[in-house]
Structure 1
Amino acid sequence: MKHRLAKYVFAILLLISFYLAFLSLQNKEWESLTATISLTIAIISGWIAYESFYNQSLARRPQIILKLDFKSRYDLILLVAENLGEKPAFNIKFEWKQKLANHKGEEIRFNKYDDSIDIPVLNPKENTSLIIDLASRFYENRKTENLDFNGTIKFQESLNSKRKTSYPFHFSFKHYGMSPSFENEEPKTMYELQKIPEKLENIKLEIKKIIDKKTSP
């Protein structure tokens, strides 16, 4: 709202300066014309400086996004909430137009302790995630479901203010359906390494069974 008001003010000032320049030109008042041209340049410079400051201010504000992650964990789809801004966001709430369910059919929630908010605080560059489903079965189980999800993100930029920032979010599973989930083999390798102790224990048990069988009378 303030940004829009500032744009209107600068636009009005520019129109006034153009009108004064036209009058000066029409009356052949060259000194006045020079002054109004200088005024116009000053207004344009002021607008450029204001826009630069406004954009820098936007970049520093909290910027909360929801995104899908198919690659961080082996064979798992994660929903990630991340703050891309340079300031923390408080009392974050996601309002869904279509509810997203996990592999158990339960409505996904970032916060199991409080129904009124999803995330109490996300600091700059911080993220949190939750598991949606196994990548290997997600599309098989949801052939008839709508895979586009959208809604509204709401949060406070300060705990001392009740004013809430809100904007829409949208993401889709559709374009991941045919893409390679494991471009980086490290998650799969780490997953398989974690299984080695279990496999060794199974081998040990099988060897023990064979030895017991051979030594039994």
Structure 2
Amino acid sequence: MRLLPLVATTALVVVVAGCGSGGDSTAPTSSSATPSDTAAVAYMDKVCTATTTFVAGPRKPPQVDPNDPAKGKAEMAAYMGQLADASARTAARLREVGPSPVPGGDEYVEKMAVTFTDLAKNFTDAKAATEAADANDPVGGLQAAGEAITRMDAFFAPLKELESVPELASAAEKAAACQDLRTLRPSETATPTS
């Protein structure tokens, strides 16, 4: 199960890229922000702050001892529960962001919230399957957890759609919380503020 940490970390990077995509833009930026630009930056700052609940959540799956499958199953079930909780809290925080100052923003953030709600169900189901697995089977419970983590890529596809709302994509490049997400490393933690 060495693949689990790699897949989980990759999925977290996808979240970060979804909130602060665009990377090395060669487009010139204006030093004077318009009122709508300022509102969009503030909005994206709230959106990215909401996602820190997930990004700052559990990152590293437990090390599973093949000689103690019952302990490994219990630890993996707890990890799935932590991921489910972080996903559900992120969805709730996204729904509290408020109305978008630009057209298309509300729809984009709702897609993100739905994605995290679906992700929470994915991990809740994996937790239940892991708990129901035979404790003497060294891979039974771990298989459901591994499949749940692998499915994260499909869940994060809507998060990559930020480019469909250019004003918000530009605002994400300027919002402090979005930039913080881009530089967050797997061993660091972020403390969400609200």
Task: Tell me which of the two structures has the higher relative contact order, counting C-alpha pairs closer than 8 angstroms and 6 or more residues apart.
Answer: 2
Bigger helix fraction: 2
Return the index of the structure with the highest Cα Rg: 1
**Same fold by TM (over 0.5)?**
no
Which structure's residues are more often strand, by fraction?
1
What TM-score does the superposition give when structure 2 sets the normalisation length?
0.25
